[in-house]
A = this chain, B = another copy of it.
Amino acid sequence: MVRGKTEMKRIENETSRQVTFSKRRNGLLKKAFELSVLCDVEVALAVFCPRGRLYEFSSATSLQKSIDRYKSYRKDNNVNNKTVQPDIQVKILICQLFC
């Protein structure tokens, strides 16, 4: 029952890694859902893995909406040219991690 801290590195045992993925995936989804409800924000979450099956919890249309929104936001505010306005109409939080 959780003996000691969990080391923050890749779980080598494949079964354990799979079980942990399943549990933490659900935990992350719950947290994302709670954040969206409590704080009145829109959340998009994607997890990619080189091996495995497809898990999808939303329509492609919805994700596409977020992608379009993100792109049009970036375009409107010239993010690439570092000319973002201090107060804009969309709040975006993006975290991109590769394995």
Contacts and interface: CB of A to CB of B under 8 A. Distances in A.
B97 A32 contact: yes
Interface string A23-35: 0110111011111
A99 B41 contact: yes
A17 B40 contact: yes
Number of copies: 2
A96 B21 contact: no
Task: Name the prevailing secondary structure of the A interface residues.
Answer: mixed
A87 B53 contact: yes
Interface in A13-50: 17, 20-21, 24-25, 27-29, 31-50
B28 A11 contact: no
B55 A92 contact: yes
